[in-house]
């Protein structure tokens, strides 16, 4: 089946630093999404991308849908302690129509 490779697996940063993480696939997706999950909670949708090349922001978060439709990245600017959590990329489309295929997640730790 389709797989998403998300990197890095974990990040330890200081408050105020910028963060970048990405997701790649061997298959094409029609939609890319980024979710954040905190302990004991379900994933929360951060950004949804629908067109190749699309660049979308949500506050300090910016995500892009890769031109090849096989990758996406998420940037977080000026990180704060509440950014701590696990960030997942997810794709929809191709052979995974109607369902989300998730990456393995990036664990983000922010030191005050």
Taking the C-alpha atoms of residue 100 and residue 32, their distance in angstroms, rounded to an integer, is 9
| Residue 46 Cβ vs another protein, minimum distance, rounded to whole Å | 11
Per-residue x/- marks for another protein, 5-44, CB under 8 A? --------------------------x-x-x----xxxxx
Helix (H, G, I), strand (E, B) or coil at 83: helix
Q: Tell the burial category of 18 from Cβ atoms under 10 Å away from its Cβ (0-12, 13-18, 19+).
A: exposed
Q: Which residues contact 98 (CB under 8 A, 6 or more apart)?
A: 92
| Residue 78 Cβ vs another protein, minimum distance, rounded to whole Å | 27
Q: Which of residues 46-75 bind another protein (CB under 8 A)?
A: 48, 50
Taking the C-alpha atoms of residue 46 and residue 7, their distance in angstroms, rounded to an integer, is 18
Nearer to another protein, 45 or 67 (CB): 45
Per-residue x/- marks for another protein, 78-107, CB under 8 A? ----------x-x-x----xxxx-xxxx--
| Residue 55 Cβ vs another protein, minimum distance, rounded to whole Å | 17
Give the helix, strand, coil percentages of the chain, each rounded to 5.
5, 60, 40
| Residue 111 Cβ vs another protein, minimum distance, rounded to whole Å | 22
């Amino acid at each position: 089946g389709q797989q998403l490779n998300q990197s890095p697996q974990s990040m330890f940063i200081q408050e105020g630093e910028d963060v970048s993480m990405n997701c790649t696939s061997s298959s094409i997706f029609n939609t890319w999404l980024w979710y954040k999950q905190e302990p004991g909670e379900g994933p929360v949708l951060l950004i949804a991308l629908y067109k190749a090349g699309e660049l979308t922001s949500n506050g300090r978060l910016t995500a892009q849908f890769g031109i090849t439709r096989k990758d996406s990245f998420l940037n977080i600017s000026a990180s704060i302690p509440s950014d701590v959590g696990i960030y997942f990329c997810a794709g929809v489309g191709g052979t995974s129509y109607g369902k989300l295929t998730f990456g393995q997640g990036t664990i983000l730790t922010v030191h005050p």
